[in-house]
Amino acid sequence: MGKYLIFSLAIVFILLSGCGKSPTGEPAGIALPGTPAVPVGPDAPAAAVTPSPAPTAAEPPPPAPAPMPTPRPVVLPSGKEVLQLTAGWKPFEDPNLGIRFLYPSEYEVRVDSLTPHQTGIQIDRPIKDPTWGEMREPFIGMFVFKVDQKEIGLTSPEEVERWVRRLPADENPIPGGGPVQVTGKMQIGEHPAFVMMEPLWPGDPPNIQSLIVVGKERVLWIGLGGVQLYPDQAEKLWPQQMAFLATLEVIR
């Protein structure tokens, strides 16, 4: 994704030369600018002089990419903290998707059916950015997959990583299926959840955090990388995201 500018420079050299006579009446040698004159006569044949090429400046190396901020530990708040953080939040429930949760009232929930087995859910809000104009500010996003747990089984980090690699290309959130790395296991309600690192861009190492929540007939892939991409919002956003996870229920 880039643009290139091509500049064409035309440089015209005007070579001034002159002729004259030496005090003895013999023709004098003619010199080009920057080239030493060579005497011309019966005893001194003309010799070609090749000017040395001008040195070229070496291009500076490209700047190293900025290191990604260290992921935060995924730890759910206590019941009292959840009540404080979620005061005034709105409920969301979709029996067909098999999930319900609370979310901040200033945001909106947008649901998009992507394939027969995958649905995208984005919780965000419209804002006006001074540079980019109208845009949407994300709170959290997820993919909901319809699965048959009896067939795939997701009870260990190795099984989760294998499942990610084997997802169809049109359903895999990561182009090429990886690489991904499961770094921890926890509980979300009654269901096992796996903390996972995934690449931000194709070819990157796993550097963005996400969470895989395993239900009976649904698997949730929840993105938690917002605090790494927008560290200035982390102090407010991360506790809210953890409170969101504490209210999340997988009912199918």
- The full set of domain ranges for the chain reads 79-250
User: What are the C-alpha distances in Å from 170 to residues 116, 137, 220, 221?
Assistant: 11, 25, 17, 15
Compute the distance between CA of residue 230 and CA of residue 16 in angstroms, rounded to an integer: 63
Query: 102 near 86, Cβ under 8 Å?
Result: yes
| Residue of 142, 136, 138 whose CA lies nearest to 100 | 142
pTM value is 0.73
pLDDT attached to residue 69: 76
pLDDT attached to residue 229: 85
pLDDT attached to residue 6: 32
Copy the structure tokens of residue 213: 């929540």
- pLDDT above 50: residue 238: yes
pLDDT attached to residue 152: 76
pLDDT attached to residue 48: 55
Across the chain, mean pLDDT equals: 81
| Residue of 126, 140, 93, 123 whose CA lies nearest to 239 | 140
Q: Higher confidence at residue 88 or residue 229?
A: 88
Burial state string for 109-143 with b = 16 or more CB within 10 A and e = fewer than 16: eeeeeeeeebbbbbbbeeeeeeeeeeeeebbbbbb
- CA 48 distance to own-chain centroid: 58
pLDDT attached to residue 125: 95
Tell me which fold the domain 79-250 belongs to.
Answer: Protein Transport Mog1p; Chain A (3.40.1000)
- Please report, rounded to a whole number, the percentage of residues in the chain having pLDDT higher than 70: 74
pLDDT attached to residue 11: 34
pLDDT digits (tens, 9 = 90+) for 183-213: 999 999 999 999 999 999 888 999 999 999 9
pLDDT digits (tens, 9 = 90+) for 40-80: 455 555 555 556 666 666 667 766 666 777 889 999 999 99
pLDDT attached to residue 10: 33
Looking at residues 10-34, what average pLDDT do you find? 41
- pLDDT above 50: residue 20: no
pLDDT attached to residue 231: 85
| Residue of 232, 183, 233 whose CA lies nearest to 208 | 183
pLDDT attached to residue 65: 60
Query: 129 near 145, Cβ under 8 Å?
Result: no
| Residue of 159, 137, 138, 176 whose CA lies nearest to 212 | 159
- pLDDT above 80: residue 225: yes
- Please report, rounded to a whole number, the percentage of residues in the chain having pLDDT higher than 90: 59
pLDDT digits (tens, 9 = 90+) for 107-149: 999 999 999 999 999 999 999 988 888 999 999 999 999 998 7
